[in-house]
Amino acid sequence: MRVATWNVNSVKQRHGRLLEWLDSRRPDVVCLQELKMTDDAFATLIGPDLEERGYEFATAGQPAWNGSALLSKVGLQDVVVGIPGAPEYEGIVEGRAISGVCGAGDGDPGIRVHSLYTPNGREIDSDHYAYKLEWLAALVAQVKADTVPQLVCGDMNIAPTDEDVFDPAAFTGHTHVTPPERDAIAALEALGLRDVVRERWPHEQVFSYWDYRAGMFNKNLGMRIDLILASGTVADRTAAAWIDRQARKGKGPSDHAPVMLDLDTAPDGDIGPMVPPPSAGRVSPKGAKLPQTKD
Residues labelled as active-site residues? 117, 155, 256
Q: Is 120 annotated as a binding residue?
A: no
Buried b (16+ CB within 10 A) or exposed e, 231-252: beebbebbbbbbbbbbbbeeee
Closest CA to 290 of 125, 161, 166: 166
Q: Is 256 annotated as a binding residue?
A: yes
What is the SS3 assignment for 257?
coil
Instruction: Give the bridge partners for 190, in sequence order.
Output: none
Residue 215 is given by DSSP the state G
Burial class (CB in 10 A: 0-12, 13-18, 19+), 138: middle
Reported in sequence order, the residue ranges of 24-181 that DSSP labels E, i.e. its strands, are: 29-33, 56-60, 68-72, 77-81, 97-102, 111-117, 150-155
Q: Is 255 annotated as a binding residue?
A: yes
Q: Is 270 annotated as a binding residue?
A: no
Cα–Cα distance for residue pair 143/120, rounded to 1 Å: 20
Cα–Cα distance for residue pair 20/40, rounded to 1 Å: 22
H or E segment to which residue 4 belongs: strand 2-7
List the helix and strand counts (H, then E) for the chain.
6, 12
Residue 146, CA distances (Å) to 140, 142, 217 in order: 10, 7, 38
Cα–Cα distance for residue pair 155/117, rounded to 1 Å: 5
Q: Is 174 annotated as a binding residue?
A: no
Packing angle between helix 15-25 and helix 39-52, nearest 10 degrees? 40
Binding residues for Mg(2+): 7, 34, 155, 157, 255-256
Binding residues: 7, 34, 155, 157, 255-256
